[in-house]
Amino acid sequence: MGLAKLNQLYREVILDHAQHPRNRGELADATGVMELRNPTCGDVISVSVQIDDDKIADLKFAGSGCTISQASASLMTTVLMNKSVERARELIMAFSALITGEKVSEKDDDELGDAALVGSVAEFPARIKCAALAWHALDELLDEKGATAHD
Amino acid sequence: MDKGLNNSRKDFPILDQQVNGEPLVYLDNAATTQKPNQVLRTIVNYYQNDNANVHRGVHTLAERATDSYEAARDKVAKFINAASRKSIVYTRSTTEGLNWVASSFGNLVVNEGDEIVISQLEHHSNIVPWQQVAQKQHATLKYIDLTADGELDMDSARRQITDKTKIVAIAQAANVMGVVNPIKELGQIAHQHGAYMIADGAQAAPHMKIDVQDLDVDFYAFSGHKMLAPTGIGVFYGKQALLEMMPPVQFGGEMIDFVHHQDASWTELPWKFEAGTPNISGAIALGSAIDYLTNLGMDNIHAYEHELVAYTLPKLLAVDGVTVYGPHDPNKHTGVLAFNMAGLHPHDVATGLDMEGVAVRAGHHCAQPLMEYLNVTATARASFYFYNTQADADKFIQAVTAVKEFFADGIS
């Protein structure tokens, strides 16, 4: 077997996003910023979001990490940009299911697009945390948003 | 060298397996070592024949369990050449021993304005407990710097250790930089200033002969699981006079002399520190691990690992884009090789190596201040033990090269 299996994880689109991350940086006018760390390796990802009218108007990520965490963060920004908060949270749930090896609906899978390819990380359990980091950060931000909206 | 030191590889059946379709090459020994059949049999034998609580019963099994548990203590005392068995206290781990000495002895001798001196290459378990003491006592925590080579800078040590210093706490062997620190010399400097010398022996005791009297350390802590014994058993050594003045950390059964309604007195050393039912099978298994190591000979183990490092280090350094941390002179480097590959995160490296059957650690190795000092977020780390072979080293180098090629092809 050897390195052949690595191709499942490090697909071209993932390597491309790790090498040329989209939406990298910090939003000057963010409505929320969340920094999460992976305590096992010291990786840090900071996600900043601008929410307008219950919609993700802008989304960026910063920080350092491995190929999987960087690509996953980059893919997340491309997939969730301009989505409603509600739909974004559904897709975050679907992504979490995918990377832990669960099935998701065809609609969610389609909408996750290239990000769904990160789902192959389910075969590499030690790396699931890397894939999840940015998505968890955004989920917490949207959660806070929901909490304030209900206040 | 293809069967391990003294053909020892055959005693470790776990090594004889395939991982991801490739023969396992286990190079994560600085995290934990594998256990030989002899140690595993000791554990089974104890539970099948002698299991009972220690120091309590008058029945035969209780006596057998107690005898084995205490016989293991004698083996530990001999293993590190302690002057007395009273100086040997069983713990859960190195971390527990260092926490005890910090929270009990540290808080006893460190006062406001005093200094605690550690170094830039310490494991979190020899940093965080001292931060706690420093905060509580309003003392200062100072760090000895490293040379460009990654060794402890002894000039910096002489500057940092002053008459205000009460504690000097240093790893004898470093878990990332792969260096052995001059504990004896540091102890002399500490003692000249009236400070106590504490050594973290987690990465040293499994790999070299330890003589706590010759080192003249005041306290020494190490773990069983990094030297063939199971997890959950460790050793805390202290000079007898210091252990006498150090208050117990935990209270309850076994550690008391007599309990009245309002107060109690402590039993004698070493049991004063061993509250509650201890890890009996772990202690007995540690004794068995020490028998195994002693039979191989600590000097032979040290020489064998040195030979492996001398073989591997130049080959690893020769791979284009590889950075190895710590000295590049194999004579100064232990069997711990921390490295990074240009443009690759160590997690990606470790996943790639795992696909080739090679188990290494990737991360900050519980040494975040050191990572900050080196200006990296993490490293990969390969670490040897006496059952590793030249073939393991070859496979490791071959896998590193394959990973490099895989990512170069995929990325560029």
- State the nearest Cα–Cα gap between A135 and chain B, in angstroms: 19
Out of A61-75, B201-215, B256-270, pick the least confident: B256-270
Diameter of chain A measured on Cα atoms = 55
Q: Which of A10, A42, A130 sits opposite B377 (nearest CB)?
A: A42
B69 and B21 in a common domain: no
- State the nearest Cα–Cα gap between B357 and chain A, in angstroms: 7
The CATH number given to whatever domain includes residue A84 is 3.90.1010.10
- State how far the alpha carbon of B296 is from the alpha carbons of A100, B167, B293, B299, in Å: 45, 35, 5, 9
CB of B83 within 8 A of CB of B72? no
pLDDT of residue B409: 64
- State how far the alpha carbon of A90 is from the alpha carbons of A66, A101, B376, in Å: 26, 17, 36
Task: Show residues of chain A in contact with B22, CB under 8 Å.
Answer: 1-2
B266 and B233 in a common domain: yes
Q: Which of B21, B345, B348 sits opposite A2 (nearest CB)?
A: B21
Interface contact A28, partner B, CB < 8 A: no
Last residue of a domain, one of B279, B295, B311: B295
Q: Is B227 helix (H, G, I), strand (E, B) or coil?
A: helix
* pLDDT single digits (tens) B339-357: 999 989 999 999 999 999 9
The structural domain count of chain B equals 2
Half-sphere exposure of B261 toward its Cβ, with a 13 Å CA cutoff?
0
Distance of alpha carbon A32 from alpha carbon B141, whole angstroms:
36
Q: Is residue A148's pLDDT more than 60?
A: no
Average pLDDT over residues A109-130: 92
Distance of alpha carbon B405 from alpha carbon B14, whole angstroms:
30
Interface A–B counts its CB contacts (< 8 A) at 71
Give the percent of chain B with pLDDT over 90: 89
- State the nearest Cα–Cα gap between A44 and chain B, in angstroms: 9
CB of A118 within 8 A of CB of A60? no
Q: Which of B345, B347, B356 sits opposite A3 (nearest CB)?
A: B356
* pLDDT single digits (tens) B298-335: 999 999 999 999 999 999 999 999 999 999 999 999 99
Domain with B225 in it: 41-295
Q: Is residue A146's pLDDT more than 60?
A: no
Average pLDDT over residues B97-126: 97
B203 and B275 in a common domain: yes
Task: Show residues of chain A in contact with B411, CB under 8 Å.
Answer: 15, 18-19
Mean per-residue pLDDT of chain B: 95
The CATH number given to whatever domain includes residue B232 is 3.40.640.10
B253 and B242 in a common domain: yes
Walk across the sheet containing B336-341 and list its strands.
Answer: B322-324, B336-341, B379-383, B361-363
What pLDDT band is residue B1 in, cutting at 50, 70 and 90? Answer: low
B327 and B274 in a common domain: no
Quick check: is B366 catalytic?
Answer: yes
Q: Is residue B39's pLDDT more than 80?
A: yes
The structural domain count of chain A equals 1
Domain with A46 in it: 2-150
Cβ of B21 within 8 Å of Cβ of A3? The answer is: no
Count other C-beta atoms under 10 Å from residue A75's C-beta. Answer: 28
Distance of alpha carbon B313 from alpha carbon B316, whole angstroms:
5
pLDDT of residue A145: 62
The CATH number given to whatever domain includes residue B318 is 3.90.1150.10
pLDDT of residue B58: 84
Distance of alpha carbon B43 from alpha carbon B146, whole angstroms:
42
Distance of alpha carbon B110 from alpha carbon B286, whole angstroms:
33
Question: Which amino acid does the sequence have at B139?
Answer: A
Q: Is B32 among the domain residues?
A: no
Distance of alpha carbon B14 from alpha carbon B10, whole angstroms:
10
Angle, vertex CA B383, rays to CA B382 and CA B384, nearest 5:
130
pLDDT of residue B412: 39
Best mutation target among A41, A44, A69 (most B Cβ atoms within 10 Å) is A41
Q: Which residue of the set B366, B371, B376, B408 is catalytic?
A: B366
* pLDDT single digits (tens) A100-116: 999 999 999 999 999 99
Distance of alpha carbon B362 from alpha carbon B310, whole angstroms:
22
B242 and B355 in a common domain: no
Last residue of a domain, one of B267, B295, B323: B295
